[in-house]
Structure 1
Amino acid sequence: MYGCEIWTEEDKMIKDDETMAWKFLSATQINTLLEQDIPGVQKQLEEFLDLKQHKTSLKEAVVLDYYVSGFCWAKEMDFAAAQIAGFMTLLNLLLENLDTQRMTLVENIQELRRTMAGVGLCRSEKSGGFEFFTVDQAKAVVGYLEISLFQHYALYEYLFHSPREEIVIGDENVVELVKPADAPFPAPLEEGLACDIYSAFIALIPAAEDVVEETEGGVQLEEQPEAETPVDPLTGYCIDDIKSVLGEVTTEMISHLQTEINEKLQMQEEAYSVRIEKLKKT
């Protein structure tokens, strides 16, 4: 059996620097994220990744959620700072393979297998750079990637490589300005003032003001013609005349209705007689 070489903490840090641990986020950035709660982590990653349009861009929103969820999961797993940094680098590597390299699901899984080679071995020649994970941690990482990225791989492919139409949501409003009034009062609103009231009390007011003429001795007002008073069409008739006219109209209407009713009754009587004759024959 070959024994494993014992490393000091300094050797581990040097080895971590040589591997994939700090390729994506620096040690300072990881320590800053570890001090934040979930909203703070999201805000810091917005700055680190320069995602300025995540509120309006679906792609940036998904990418931000991808990294925030991954960091929170690694933190809950009690990973060390270097291990969290390595996990974030692995997330970035797989997402870049999908985005820029356009790797298929099978190709990206093979890439994950290559990078995770050497986990659990001491200074293995086949190491992919993530040997700072233990075997159990590597299994947990693979399980997380399976239910997060790989399970929804087709959706990520559609997000990065399928063009989408931009939908502009707007609303056009037509504003109608009030026309200048020729009279001292504006035209009435249909729901606010009856036409008869407007005609009786407002429309009869002169439309124009008196014209003021300046003379040498002072100010002289131009005389305006008086408005004509509306004539009542019932003027000259008494109540008896009105009752007489209404009586004639009522009698004429009733006689017309009576004739129409008699005609309908006669038609129904004839129809019933025909039906009775048919019943007698049967």
Structure 2
Amino acid sequence: MAAPGQEEDQNQDAIGGKKVISRTFLSLSQITALSEQNVEGVQKKLEEFLNFKQLKTSLKEAVLLDYYAAGFWWAKEMNFSLTQLSGFMDLLNFLLENLSDKHVTLGENLKELGRAMAGIGETESERSGDLNFFSIEQAKAVIDYLTDSFFRHYKLYEYLFHSPREKLVISNKYAIELAQPAVPPFPALLEEGIPSDIYSSFIISPTAAEAESKGSDQEGYLEEPCPEAESSEADAMAGVTAEDQKSAVGEIPNGIIGNLEADINEKLQRQEEACTFRTEN
């Protein structure tokens, strides 16, 4: 969490017995904005200031937001001034960075807390600490709060920052590519396994099939007896005698046989011509 170069400056300050907390976590304007909010508003503002974008899926961001929001609200209820609120938030961030970035143990972090709060209640000429704007009573309250909220759950914070966790797949996105519609004479995807003769006869020409079905419907319609047609036929047959019927029946076979003979002779002639053509080739 610390910026490059700041960690080295902090170590040098600690060795020299000077400031332990050397940077500001939140600006005074941000602290002022937070002090004007309720609990929900503090969480929203901290989410914005800390640039948290994955609160619904990131356990780390959710824990950090709760850590800072709960600390700020406790300090606000203690009626800390803006300067004290800023210093307290710096202290919260400093202790958490020791654990997350430097992997400081619990005992070492307690020592860092003691050094940061050194000099409280003493005159500035004797000893100057990072949090000397707190009174002794306020410093004790801060230590009690940190003991109950942060140091008591130190192992959980260590697990959060330094233990690998299995990544859960919450959702998957799949891209489905649809096939282009079939364009004759190429069959559709589900018709590729059909033999070509069946496809060409029954699938490729739906118009012909429709025409055939319409023709069969018309034939069935013609085969059905019509009462009006039967009555008209009866009226027409009323004036025909028995001799007329015999003569008509005698003429029908001759006409049919003559037509059949002509068709057969024509077909035989075509076959002979085809055989002769093949033989010559």
Native 8 Å contact 1:119 1:133 kept in 2: yes
Pairwise CA distance, 1:60: 0.6
Which stretches of structure 1, 4 residues or more, deviate above 2 A after TM superposition? 18-22, 124-128, 167-171, 219-223
The CA distance in 2 between the partners of 1:21 and 1:141, in whole Å, is 19
Compute the RMSD of aligned alpha carbons: 3.1
Q: Determine the structure 2 residue equivalent to 1:89.
A: 90
The AA in structure 1 aligned to 2:81 is A
Q: Deviations over 1:181-216 (max 9, x none)?
A: xxxxxxxxxxxxxxxxxxxxxxxxxxx9870149xx
Q: Deviations over 1:215-246 (max 9, x none)?
A: xxxx94468x9xxxxxxxxxxxxxxxxxxxxx
1:38-53 correspondence to structure 2 within 5 Å:
38-53=39-54
Aligned to 1:128: 129
d(CA) in 2 for partners of 1:69, 1:222: 88
Select the structure of larger CA radius of gyration: 2
Query: Retained in 2: the 8 A contact 1:38–1:72?
Result: yes
CA contact (8 A) 2:119 2:129 kept: yes
Separation of aligned partners in 1, 2:38 and 2:213: 78
Contact 1:31–1:81 (8 Å) recurs in 2 = yes
Q: Distance in 1 between matches of 2:55 and 2:170?
A: 18
- Output the CA distance in 2 between the equivalents of 1:128 and 1:22: 14
TM-score by length of 2: 0.55
**Displacement of 1:51 after TM fit?**
1.1
Identity across matched positions, percent? 57
Structure 2 CA distance for partners of 1:168 and 1:97, relative to 1, 3 Å: same
AA partner of residue 102 (structure 2) = Q
Shift of 1:64: 0.3
Which runs of 5 or more residues in structure 2 are unaligned?
A: 1-18, 173-208, 224-281
Q: Deviations over 1:252-281 (max 9, x none)?
A: xxxxxxxxxxxxxxxxxxxxxxxxxxxxxx
User: Structure 1: where are the runs of 5+ without partners?
Assistant: 1-17, 172-207, 226-282
Structure 1 position 142 matched with structure 2 position 143:
yes
Deviations 1:59-90 (A, max 9, x none): 11000000000000000001001001100000
Structure 1-normalised TM-score?
Answer: 0.54
Alignment of 1:122-271 (within 5 A): 122-124=123-125, 126-169=127-170, 211-213=213-215, 220-221=218-219
Q: Distance in 1 between matches of 2:219 and 2:32?
A: 90
